[in-house]
Amino acid sequence: MNSMHRNRFFGGNVDWFTVLLWFLLCIIGWFNIHAAVFDPQHPGLFSLETNYGKQSIYIFSAMLIAIVILIVDAKFYSSFSPILYAITILLLIAVLIIGRNVGGNQAWIPIGSFRLQPSEFAKLATCLLLARYLSAHSTKTPNLKTLIGGITVVALPVALVLLQPDTGSALAFFALVFVFYREGYISGPWMLFGALAIMLFVLTLAFNQWIVIAGVAMTVGLGIYYFRKKRKIITSLAAIFAIAAVYVLCVEFVYENVLQSHQRNRIDVILGKIDDPRGEGYNLNQSMIAIGSGQFWGKGYLQGTQTKYNFVPEQSTDFIFCTVGEEWGFVGSMVVIGIYLTLLLRIVNIAERQRTAFARIYAYGVASILFFHFAINIGMTIGIVPIIGIPLPFISYGGSSLWSFTILLFIMLKFDANRKGIV
Amino acid sequence: MNAFFERKYIIQGIFIVVAVIIATRLFYLQLIDESYLLSANNNVLRKMVIYPARGVILDRNGQVLVQNEPVYDLLVTPREVRDLDTALLCELVGIDHEGFLKRMKTARDYSPYKASPFEKQIPAAAYATLQEHLYKFRGFYVQNRTVRSYPDSIAAQFLGYIQEVNDRDIERSNGFYRPGDYIGASGVERAYEELLRGQRGVKNVMVDAFNRPQGSFADGKYDTLAVAGDGLVSSLDKDLQILAEKLMRNKIGSVVAIEPATGEILTFVSSPSYDPNMMVGRERGNNYMKLLYDPYKPMFIRPIQAQYPPGSVFKVVSALTAQQAGVIEASTVFNCPGGYRYGGGRAIMRCTHVDGSIPLVTAIQRSCNTYFGYTYARMIDHRNLPSPESYTLWREATMKFGIGQPLGIDLPGEQDGLLPTADYYTKRYGNARWGSGYNISLSIGQGEMGITPLQMANIMAIVANRGFYYRPHLIKAIGEKKIVKPEFTEKISAGVDAKYYEPVVEGLSRAVNVPGGTGYSVRIADIEMCGKTGTAQNPHGADHAVFFAFAPRDNPKIAIAVVVENAGYGGVWAGPIASMLVEQYLKDTITLPKYIQDRIYNADLLPKQDPQKPAESVKAAPKRPTEPRKDPEEESIFVHHSMIASRYE
């Protein structure tokens, strides 16, 4: 790497706007972590012992990491993606053996006082390898064989994460469906079909299975009546109905017999089947109270009573958005959502301006994973999705999470900065 | 760029739609639905009741009779209890495991989510250690309040006590009281409850998820301050009270001393007494039962609830009313052959001496039964009226001296005393043709007459004032402004002109200050005390010793009545006690010979022979023939505070 290269790198090819959004989210995160762990009894001075003190170190080191990533040659990432992937898989296996059990999940490897969470880095490695694999086949028309290969790349870490069992982190990999869609491996109707499947899944859990099947039958019946002249459509509608009915029964079976009881409970709370504000619903209820009580302008920095007095559990990690909602109100929430949406749309635009399939596919992977975390994390705090323990990127407290998302993002920025060169 | 470029828009579209869904949901949560703000406030807001300090009661010289002392109630919210070190808690609170389970059950039965008392009135010392460990006991917290404290342990029946409100109290107060509040249950505490209790304040405190207080809400904008109860200045003289209680130790009876010029009660002793501090704190329940079943009935307020036949003191009243009625004069002389014959000479009311011709002054001095037998006969039989009518005139004149009706002292539970109506005798004898011979014992204050020690002292105050009195009272000023109740400043006439008092006062003076007088042994050098010994008949045992007096003769400062039950002759026991108190009050010294003092201090006159039924011995009269009472319970001279309550409604 010569001085010319470095000048060009700092001279304007880096997408500074994205870096700014990243930095804003980190800073917002720091302030909200401070508010979440703030103890009015012992306000104290800045201390590295506290979560916000540690987060300062994490943010600072994340910046160093970001610089290092931007300095390292872009070729490194594509070349070494299989090795990174292999290391990650080994770590995921290792964590099952030597990991520390925190909150029922065997997800952490203790390294000194720091705890490494391999599943966070698994997303990065999977994205890189998936990009490399799909880009290698990008000259051909998308075909089933490549799709199955791609799915295998994703499925291996998912299986290992599920063994921990960390369902939340595992689910995040499903966001990569957008990558397959963008690259043409999944068609629009299949995406729609998938969306319908999710909808039926939720409906089945919310209502009696037979009611759902009856509803599907009615809809299909209307369709058959409408297309009564067209035998072909009638046949396919009938097939759809059969599939749907079997699917609904399967869902019911999985729900009753495969899911663990705490997962069932979380789903039930979201669906309103359990109204238990002190038991399973406590987290969600307190979270919604925190956000709802913020109203338009919020209660002000360090003024959130829900946050300050520890009514919301996991406040600095999974439920950090409560602090945003309570202390900064609707205005603050909109700002955070606005920054995220801008970042996501920006990443998609960045993806599309890449000259290599590898960089584009990787960027879509980044967008997908960030989108999933953003939607599910905030969605769970406001009660529109079940409570799944995943962090809010760049904002939630935690080194593993901040670093892995930063690396994820800045590798993409490195590709983008280097897009006129040859990868 | 490749074939699926346009899918970018679909993906971006999905991102936007999801962001909009989230924003819409936030719009609803934060701007439309107000309930979350309420819930958030409910989460952190706890309304803490601030108990006001109850009014302090001082004596007439500003010395403290009752004050407040902080104690701490330990509250528990069962649902919040987690990881409890039960053994440590039990040790700190001083209970066993069984007691712990019982308390937890009570609390859980009340409400798992709300705080209720776990252990009440933990003393300050025990609280100090408990507080150090309190952070370990999640779900427990402490509320402080004050309890009464009596620095000198005196005047128990006068001050009364407070207790937790019961359901009836709460109902009656229209919700002013809440469970756990305290209310004055007897004595001054009850009589002045509305003034003493003060006003509760509310403090809005924020708590964290573990219900630990975290500071005030909205900088105390919605807090209300507790207003302390009014202080009371009592008429009691603390030093005199202490002396009187010391003198009455191991004796059953009463001491009442009144300042005649104001009606202020200087000393109010009901003996046996108890330490008022017993009615405070955690042992209260046990102590209360102990007192309730004590055979000597310490909770019986003898000065206003015990009734005795007045004996000699009534002769004073009789001499005055007879003069006012014009049936005798100061110079009227009757012959005393050692007794008064009546009923056509068939019956005799014996006198203690044979005095021959005796004028009024001497009759008072020597307490001549014969003289007052004649006087009574003139009042009833010689007024050219049917007997019942003259009896009614006599009764009305007598009642003006405060006999047979409550004086209206500011203490609950005062008894009327006993003075039968004419109807009672008409009914008893079947017709209206009865005369003085039918109830001649009334002439010397025996028989169907009952009078409380307070009434006795008040008669002395009337004589001291030569014709009037102020309602005897225990509280001379209320609050910071030293308000005096108007009913205590009203001069009440006894209906006898001042000029008729002189022979009576002279007779009383001679009884003490002339050699041979019944009170000569307890005379006070340099002070002309006017008084008399008396004996109250007791059909159940030894007679009660009585001494009543006022001093000095001119411009009297103190009127006093002393009753020592079952002590026999009044001069031996009641006289020295009265004399010592009067001298102490007027001269701040006691000159009575030391051996007499020691005899009084060391005497133990508690009835030993039959401690099971001592109440019997103080019963006023065998029957209560006035207005027939409906409630047989009322027969009992022991009045429980709850009965007082019902009577005062």
Out of A210, A233, A259, a domain closes at A259
Q: What is the CA radius of gyration of chain B?
A: 34
pLDDT score for B259: 94
A264 inside domain:
no
Same domain, A177 and A66: yes
Q: Nearest CB to B44: which of A278, A309, A371?
A: A309
Contacts of B15 in chain A (CB under 8 A): 341, 344-345, 348, 367, 371
Cα within 13 Å of Cα(B353), Cβ side = 14
Q: How far is A156 from chain B (nearest CA, A)?
A: 25
Whether residue B10 and residue A188 make contact (CB cut-off 8 A), yes or no, is yes
DSSP class per residue in A30-76: HHHHHHHH--TT------TTSHHHHHHHHHHHHHHHHHHHHHS-THH
Q: Are A181 and A202 members of one domain?
A: no
Cross-chain Cβ contact A325/B30 below 8 Å: yes
Q: Is omega for the bond preceding B310 within 30 degrees of 0, making it cis? A: no
A176 and A241, same domain (yes or no): no
Distance CA B178, CA B117 (A): 13
Q: How do residues B14-46 score in pLDDT, each as one tens digit?
A: 999 999 999 999 999 899 888 888 888 877 777
Contact B4 A289 (CB under 8 A): no
Decide if B494 contacts B323 (C-beta within 8 A). Answer: no
Residue A59, in any domain of the structure: yes
Which residue, A165, A97, A158, A104, is CA-closest to A130? Answer: A158
B21: part of which helix (H) or strand (E)?
A: helix B7-27
CB contact under 8 A, B31 and A330: yes
Could you tell me what percentage of chain A is helix, strand and coil, using 3-state DSSP and rounding each to the nearest 5? 70, 5, 25
Residue B240: which of B624, B594, B586 has the closest Cα? B586
| Angle between helix A144-163 and A75-98 (nearest 10) | 40
Residues of chain B with C-beta less than 8 angstroms from the C-beta of A340: 19
B40/A378 touch (CB, cutoff 8 Å), yes or no = no
Q: Strand pairing of B57-58 and B232-234?
A: parallel
In DSSP terms, which residues pair with B562 in a beta bridge? B255, B547
Query: Predicted confidence band at B147 (pLDDT cuts at 50, 70, 90)?
Result: confident
E strand or H helix that includes residue B572: helix B570-587
- Which of B250-264, B283-297, B407-421 is predicted with the least confidence, judged by mean pLDDT? B283-297
- Residue B641: predicted pLDDT: 36
Return the residue of B nearest to A294 by Cα: B30
Mean pLDDT over each residue of chain B, to the nearest integer: 82
Considering the domain architecture, whether residues A252 and A109 belong to the same structural domain is answered as no
B22 Cα distance to chain centroid: 71
Burial label for A67, CB within 10 Å (0-12, 13-18, 19+), is exposed
CA terminus-to-terminus distance, chain B? 97
Give the position of tokens 């030293």.
Answer: B482
User: Which structural domain range is residue A245 located in?
Assistant: 193-259
pLDDT at A61: 93
Last residue of a domain, one of A230, A259, A288: A259
Q: Does residue A133 sit in the same domain as residue A203?
A: no
Which of chain A's residues have a Cβ under 8 Å away from the Cβ of B215?
40
**So what's the pLDDT on residue B636?**
32
pLDDT at position A102 is 64
Does pLDDT of B626 surpass 50?
Answer: no
Collect the ranges in chain A with pLDDT lower than 50: 1-7, 10-11, 422-423
Task: Give the Cβ contact number of residue B96 at 10 Å.
Answer: 10
Which residues are CB-neighbours of A200 under 8 A, at least 6 positions away? A212, A216, A244, A247, A248, A251
| Domains contained in chain B, CATH given | 47-234 (3.90.1310.10), 268-647 (3.40.710.10)
* Strands of A231-366, DSSP E: none
**Lookup: tokens for A127:** 């994205």
Q: Are residues A147 and A284 in the same domain?
A: yes
Would you say B569 and B518 are in contact if contact means Cβ atoms under 8 Å apart? no
Q: What is the per-residue pLDDT for A3?
A: 41
| Contact call for A182 and B8, based on CB within 8 A | yes
What secondary structure does DSSP assign to B235-302, as a single string? S--HHHHHHHHHHTTT--EEEEEEETTTTEEEEEEEES---GGGGSSTTHHHHHHHHHT-TT-TTS-H
Same structural domain for residues A43 and A182?
A: yes
Does residue A269 form part of some domain?
Answer: no
CA angle A77, A99, A93 (to 5 degrees): 50
Contact B40 A330 (CB under 8 A): no
Question: What percentage of chain B exceeds 90 in pLDDT?
Answer: 16
Number of domains observed in the structure of chain A = 2
Angle at B334 between CA B329 and CA B338, to 5 degrees: 145
Distance from CA of B135 to the nearest CA of A (A): 14
Residue A13 lies in a domain: yes
SS3 content of chain B, % helix, strand, coil (to 5): 40, 20, 40
Alpha-carbon gap, residue B366 to B345, rounded angstroms? 24
Query: Do the chains contact at B1 and A334, CB–CB below 8 Å?
Result: no
**Which residues lie below 8 Å from residue B580, measured CB to CB, with a gap of 6+?**
B243, B247, B590, B592, B597, B600
User: Nearest CA to CA, how far is B216 from chain A (Å)?
Assistant: 12
Query: Is A213 found in the same domain as A127?
Result: no
Helices (H), A99-143: 118-136
Interface residues on B facing A, Cβ-Cβ cutoff 8 A: 1-5, 7-8, 10-12, 14-16, 18-19, 21-23, 25-27, 29-31, 33, 35-37, 39-41, 43-44, 79, 206-210, 214-215
CA dist., res. A298 & res. A292, Å (int): 9
Tell whether A266 is covered by a domain.
no
Owner of token pair 């956000």: A291
Q: What's the pLDDT at B620?
A: 39
Confidence band for B459, pLDDT divided at 50, 70 and 90? very high
Distance CA(A133)–CA(A81), nearest Å, equals 10
> Does residue A214 share a domain with residue A151?
no
pLDDT of amino acid A4: 43
Closest-CA residue of B relative to A141 is: B3
Contact across the interface for B26 and A330, Cβ inside 8 Å: yes
B106 CB-near residues (< 8 Å, 6+ apart): B116
What is the 3-state secondary structure of B421-470? CHHHHHHHHCCCCCCHHHHHHHHHCCCCCEECHHHHHHHHHHHHHCCEEE
Judgement on whether residues A130 and A99 belong to the same structural domain of the protein: yes
Residue A298 within any structural domain of the chain: yes
For B401-426, letters b (16+ CB in 10 Å) and e give bbbbeebebbbbbbbbbbbbbbebbb
- Give the per-residue pLDDT at B649: 31
Residues A252 and A170 in one domain: no
The pLDDT assigned to B264 comes to 93
Residues of A whose CB is below 8 A from B79: 278
SS3 at position A271: coil
Neighbour-count burial for B533-567, b at 16+ CB within 10 Å, e otherwise? bbbbbbebeebbbbbbbbbbbeebbbbbbbbbbbb
Nearest by CB to residue B26, choosing from A183, A286, A382, is A382
Instruction: Kindly provide the ipTM of the predicted complex, given to two decimals.
Output: 0.88
Answer yes or no: do A163 and A205 share one domain: no
